[in-house]
Amino acid sequence: MSHARATHPTRRGILAAGGALGLGAVLAACGDEDADSGGSSKGTETAAAKSGPWTFKDDRGETAKADRIPTNIVAFVGVAAALYDYGIDVKGVFGPTRTKDGKADVQAGDLDITKVTVLGNAWGQFNIEKYAALAPDALLTTMFDDAGTLWYVPEESSEKILAVGAPSVGISVYDRQMTEPLQRMLELAESLGADVKAEKVTTAKKRFEDAAARLRAAAKAKPDIKVLAGSAAQDIFYVSGSNLSIDLEYFKALGVNLVEPPASTLKASGGWFENLSWENADKYDADIIMMDNRSSAIQPDDISEATWKKLPAVKAGQVIARDPEPILSYDKCLPLLENLAEAIENAKKVS
């Protein structure tokens, strides 16, 4: 588990330190221990997946190559969930996959988590032996910095992981609008054999575009409605800046009036968020609060802090969920736009 560079904190380092957007306490870096495994995924291959060769240029500028289209894919769970929506199965996943009660984590989307091998369920977990046993032919994940760091691939063991030989692909979700990585994930899925012209895909994309137009209209109709992106930890209320995060950058581009902490207060996190004590949770006025829905964050119904309960948006019932790490399929990103549009349309000015 690596910490951020002293001169330029990366989101990976910040998360490893227990911060970004509400991880709260430091996530246990358990190395290769406690990595769960489920059953194998479907053994079938599409006709397209039997062909080759395969190449894909990722957002590091590196070209992944193989003699055939990969079928033994290992991916960060959110990437696996996006690919699943496009009809591409993976054999193994890493990252938040199972909750404490054994159910699918929110980042797993519609994945059947009983049919994939879970190489690690938390930060720092990646079972290299199980990974090698899968005979992987592709390692796919996202990137949350401009240094090309592969998300949830432990830096201390990354050389061993990459030495297994599977070509790696990184899709950047750093400092850009949501539409760009959505398109890149679609391109990756197509390279792996997905039918991107299938009715399910084209319909979801059209609905996404319609939802974007709806959100733009809602923001234009109620420009004074302030939206704050927050996350809850035991001792800290995190307020996100509107830059760097793909969802917030896109919402801002659509005209949403986002609460923006001063750059000076975001500096310690590399621009991602401001740390507030719960006593100061009312520092910013907001009419709608979007709260981190990941299992690593305390959810709104479980927040007992008095200052939280007194916030005007909370008292008005104007709190909605936010996906800080969206599953990058149009089907999964569509509700993010629809829910925010509906919240703004129905919001009362309370700040």
Q: What is the pLDDT of residues 61-108, one digit of tens each?
A: 999 999 999 999 999 999 999 999 999 999 999 999 999 999 999 999
| Mean local confidence (pLDDT), 129-145 | 98
The proportion of the chain whose per-residue pLDDT surpasses 70, expressed as a percent, equals 85
The proportion of the chain whose per-residue pLDDT surpasses 90, expressed as a percent, equals 85
- Predicted local confidence at residue 115, as pLDDT: 97
What is the per-residue pLDDT across 316-340, written as a single tens digit (0 to 9) for each?
999 999 999 999 999 999 999 999 9
> pTM, whole model, 2 decimals?
0.88
**In which band, very low, low, confident or very high, does the pLDDT at 128 lie, cut at 50, 70 and 90?**
very high
Measured N-to-C along each axis, helices 77-85 and 179-191 cross at an angle, to the nearest 10 degrees, of 70
Beta pairing, strands 288-292 & 73-76? unpaired
- Predicted local confidence at residue 293, as pLDDT: 97
The residue ranking higher by pLDDT, 31 or 260, is 260
- Predicted local confidence at residue 50, as pLDDT: 53
- Evaluate if residue 46 carries a pLDDT over 50: no
| Mean local confidence (pLDDT), 111-136 | 97
The residue ranking higher by pLDDT, 89 or 29, is 89
- Evaluate if residue 280 carries a pLDDT over 80: yes
User: What is the overall mean pLDDT for the chain?
Assistant: 89
**In which band, very low, low, confident or very high, does the pLDDT at 52 lie, cut at 50, 70 and 90?**
confident
- Evaluate if residue 208 carries a pLDDT over 50: yes
